[in-house]
Every structure is written in C-alpha cells, then in structure tokens.
Amino acid sequence: METLRERKKRRTREALLRAALELFTTQGYERTTVDEIAEAVDVSQRTFFRYFAGKEEAAFAVQTMTEDRFLAAVRARPPHEAPMTALRQAFLEGWDAIREHVEEAVPVELYLRMYRTIGSTPALLAAHLRRSVAIEETMARVLAEREGVDVDSDPRPRLAVAVFGGVMRVTERQWSTGDDLSPEAIRALTASYLDQVGSALTGNWGGD
Amino acid sequence: METLRERKKRRTREALLRAALELFTTQGYERTTVDEIAEAVDVSQRTFFRYFAGKEEAAFAVQTMTEDRFLAAVRARPPHEAPMTALRQAFLEGWDAIREHVEEAVPVELYLRMYRTIGSTPALLAAHLRRSVAIEETMARVLAEREGVDVDSDPRPRLAVAVFGGVMRVTERQWSTGDDLSPEAIRALTASYLDQVGSALTGNWGGD
DNA sequence: AGGCTAGTGACAGCGACTGACAGTTGACAA
DNA sequence: TTGTCAACTGTCAGTCGCTGTCACTAGCCT
C-alpha cells in the first residue's frame, strides 16, 4: 500500500520525466534547460536535481528500465544455450513486451522518439555508448558464469559481448534513422543483422 | 618558413596541451579546471578556449593525430586485401611508428598515461566512444568503396567495422588497465584478440 | 613609419550543478 | 487532536565550463 507522501513523490517524478522527454524530443536536448523542465511541472530547479542526478539521467530514465529487463532476460535463458543465442533471444524477448512495460511510466511513443533524439544528439549518443559498455561488462560476467570460464583471464566472454554490442549499435543506428520506428522493425533488423555478421567478417563482398 | 607569430601560437598551443595532459593524468580530469591549465601557462582562460573548443578537445588532441594516421593507413592498404585484414594491418602499423610521431607534440609517456585517464574517467570514456563511432563510420565508407558495395544498402561494411571496433575496445580496456602500458603490449593483445573472435562467437567455451 | 589585423586580456553573462539553511507538509505516536 | 519528527521543498549563493563583446597590444606588410 502506497502512502500519500509516496504517491506525491511518484507523481512529481513522472511529471518531471514526461515534461523532460517531451521537451527533449520536440525542441532538442541542448536547447532545453533544466529551469524549463522544472517550470513546466511548477517545481523549483533544485527539486529537479533531487529526483534526477542530472539532465542526462532524466533522458535515460526509461532506457534504464528496459535495459534492466534485458539483463534479467539474459540471466533467465536456459543454460545450455550458446552465448550468442542467449543474447539474441533475450534481446528479441525484450522488444516483444516493450509496450506494456514502458507505458507504466511514459507513453511508448515518447520512449521511441527519445531514441531518435539520443542518436542525433552528440552528448546523448556519447552517454548512451558509455552506458552500453557498462551493460556489456555485466553481460560478459553473466556469460562467463554460464559457461564456467573466468571473465578476467579468458577474453572470449568480453569479445562475444563486444561483437554483439557492435551489431546492436549498427542496428539501432539504422532503425533510429529510418522511417519505421516500431518495435517490430528493430526486431526484424536485429535478426537480419545478426545473421549477416558471419559473412561480413569473411570479406570479399564484392562477389567479383 | 614559419613566421614569429606562428611560432608563438604553436608554442602557446603546445604549452597548453602539455599542461593540460600533465594535470589531467596526475590529479584527474574532473578535478582540473580550465583556469588551472591557463594559469599554468600564464594565459587567460579565454585564450585557452581560443586554442581548444573545450576541455575535452585538449584531452583528445594527441589521440586525434594518431587516429588520422590510422585512417590514412587503412586507405593505403592494398585493395585486394580482405577488409578485416586491412584493418588489422593498418592498426598494427599505426602502433609501430607511434613514438616518433607523437613525440613531436608531447612526450609519448604522457600520451600513454592519458589513455589510462580516459579509461577511468566516465566523461572521457563516453567522449572516446563517440569519437570511435565517428571513426568507424569513416572506415565503413572506405571499406565499402574498396569492395565496391553501397554502404547504405549493404550492412556488411558497417557490421565488419563494428565488430573490429568492438574487439579494439576490449583490447584497449585490457591494455589500459594492465601493467604493461607499452605500444608493444597493445600490438600483441590486438593480434591475439582478433585471432580469438571467431571461436568466441561459436560458443561452448567451457569444453565440458 | 604607419596602417592593418591576428591574438590577447578583462569583463559580463548563461546554464548545469551543488551546498547550506529555512520553511512546509505528511507520518506517527501520545 | 495535537505535537513531534522526518521528509520534502524553495531560496540563495557559489563553482565551473563555456561564450560574446570590446578594447588593446604586437607582429606583419607596404
């Protein structure tokens, strides 16, 4: 049971988050000031910083939720699965149920639009990549444990995860700059690109 | 022939760069203010910003030089080489002649120490990754042209480059957190990790 | 020698962020 | 119901990265 104080806090946080994403996606991240966000919700700037460590944290708040779900999905994969298969399936699963889980916080459409803003804002892109690296580190440890190898002496877990992450970045880029900004579209792209990694590495694409 | 004015400019720039890297690597990037750097060279803060677009640009100034050399090396590779081979060789070549080329600007040791600082400073790591992505985009276009495919319709150039970049990141991480911070060490690691990508992807490392 | 202009310093200002302090409001017990 | 405590908030002042402006100095060129 949620107390009144907790309800108020949650509402303030969600209002700030929604206002922030709305402003970021419409007028741009850099051109949006924290004062503006606070004003839109009618709280002081100081209060914004009590809910979010910074502007950046607000921009990635929803992403954090879905990333946590992805990590949980990887951990829940059957242990006999090959590493790359486990990652692939967990990722696809994540996008399957995305609508319901995001909608609890903000409209899904806002979440999807935010991806585009992240891709086109250098500061956010940089933060996104740094966050991806952190997630990959966690994934590497999970994979290493699944396979019973030591993540620090055996480079293969980190290599596998880095390759997977690389493909994901190419996928995201293609998706977020394209026309079809739907979960179904990124699912299809992901599957297709993962299938093509092998042939991309062997080279001689020209087929002369 | 260099005029007096040009000489003065170059000396100011180099002095600022050296002071910045020295401060970054010893007391940390975040704990170093631009005022401090300017003061160390005895110029105004405003002047610092006339030589570098920001604190970050100073931190990556030398890296930019070596990255340009790497890109040039890729372009100079024989056209019949397979894409991944070309990238691999260009990268190894870059580290071969690193000492002479860096030493023109700053002591090599400072350059190598800066790598460690980048790896351990979240803001710099994020910037480094964003810069890597930009380089990978250029590399993808170079490879696509070499192989005669269209970089926008065929995902393989970007996939190959993303995989290579992923392996490079794992390599850099291992190298910059290890004991042996020498060009020879990263050369050896690079070769070793590139050899292991294939087996990392096929999974079943446990050998149960 | 004298004009032109690149380079500089000094100053003011913006935006992200932080610390300190005081006021307000919900939670909980007497 | 009331009083106490803790949580939450607003206000204010200050730091730091970064930018625009303007006047001034010093190298360049005729």
Q: Higher confidence at residue A207 or residue B94?
A: B94
Would you say residue A20 has pLDDT above 70? yes
Q: What is the mean pLDDT of residues A172-192?
A: 95
- pLDDT tens digits for range A4-13: 889 999 999 9
Output the six-digit token pair for A208: 């002369």
Q: Which nucleotides of chain C does any protein CB come within 7 A of?
A: 6-11, 15-20, 26-28
Query: In this predicted structure, what is the pLDDT of residue B185?
Result: 96
- Contacts B201 to A, Cβ<8 Å: 84, 160, 163, 197-198
Is B39 contained in some domain?
no
Is A106 contained in some domain?
yes
Q: What is the mean pLDDT of residues A17-40?
A: 98
- pLDDT tens digits for range A47-105: 999 999 999 999 999 999 999 999 999 999 999 999 999 999 999 999 999 999 999 89
Which residues have a Cβ under 8 Å from the Cβ of A78 and sit 6 or more positions away?
A: A86
Residue B127, exposed/middle/buried by CB under 10 A (0-12, 13-18, 19+)?
Answer: buried
Would you say residue A207 has pLDDT above 60? no
Query: In this predicted structure, what is the pLDDT of residue B204?
Result: 78
Query: In this predicted structure, what is the pLDDT of residue A196?
Result: 95
- Contacts A203 to B, Cβ<8 Å: 82-85, 147, 160
- pLDDT tens digits for range A109-153: 999 999 999 999 999 999 999 999 999 999 999 999 999 999 999
Q: What sections of B28-155 are H helices per DSSP?
A: 34-41, 45-51, 55-76, 83-96, 98-103, 108-120, 122-147
Whether the CB-CB separation of A37 and A16 falls below 8 Å is answered with yes
Q: Distance between CA A98 and CA B11 in Å, rounded? A: 56
Looking at every residue in chain A, the average pLDDT score rounds to 95
Is the Cβ of B53 closer than 8 Å to some Cβ of chain A? no
Helix (H) or strand (E) holding B201: helix B183-202
Q: What sections of A106-150 are H helices per DSSP?
A: 108-120, 122-147
How many separate domains does chain B show? 1
Residue pairs between chains A and B whose CB atoms are closer than 8 Å:
128
Is B19 contained in some domain?
no
Cβ contact B155–A170 (<8 Å): yes
A182: left (phi over 0), alpha (psi -120 to 50) or beta: beta
Is the Cβ of A207 closer than 8 Å to some Cβ of chain B? no
Would you say residue A157 has pLDDT above 90? yes
Q: Can you give the distance from the CA of residue B94 to the C1' of nucleotide C21 in angstroms?
A: 57
- pLDDT tens digits for range B25-72: 999 999 999 999 999 999 999 999 999 999 999 999 999 999 999 999
Q: Distance between CA A103 and CA A146 in Å, rounded? A: 32
Cβ contact A127–B126 (<8 Å): yes
Is the Cβ of A60 closer than 8 Å to some Cβ of chain B? no
Query: In this predicted structure, what is the pLDDT of residue B207?
Result: 56
By C1' distance from the Cα of A5, the closest nucleotide is C26
Torsion of Cα atoms, A146 then A152 then A153 then A154, to 10°: 40
CATH number reported for the structural domain that contains residue A92 in this entry? 1.10.357.10
Q: What letter represents residue B172's amino acid?
A: E
Is the Cβ of A191 closer than 8 Å to some Cβ of chain B? no
- pLDDT tens digits for range B154-198: 999 999 999 999 999 999 999 999 999 999 999 999 999 999 999
Residue found by looking up tokens 């092998």 in the block: A198
Query: In this predicted structure, what is the pLDDT of residue A149?
Result: 95
Which residues have a Cβ under 8 Å from the Cβ of B114 and sit 6 or more positions away?
A: B21, B24, B25, B59, B62, B63
Is A26 contained in some domain?
no
**How far from B200 is each of A96, A139, B197, B204, CA to CA, in Å?**
28, 14, 5, 9
- pLDDT tens digits for range B99-155: 999 998 899 999 999 999 999 999 999 999 999 999 999 999 999 999 999 999 999
* Sign of the dihedral through C-alpha B92, B93, B94, B95: positive
Residue found by looking up tokens 């401090």 in the block: B36
**How far from B40 is each of A112, A143, B16, CA to CA, in Å?**
47, 48, 8
Is B3 contained in some domain?
no
Output the six-digit token pair for A46: 């100081």
Query: In this predicted structure, what is the pLDDT of residue B150?
Result: 95
Is A48 contained in some domain?
no
Q: What is the mean pLDDT of residues A185-190?
A: 96
Query: In this predicted structure, what is the pLDDT of residue B33?
Result: 97
Helix (H) or strand (E) holding A92: helix A83-96
Is A192 contained in some domain?
yes
Domain housing A109: 55-196
- Contacts B157 to A, Cβ<8 Å: 200, 205
Q: Distance between CA B94 and CA B183 in Å, rounded? A: 10
Is B26 contained in some domain?
no
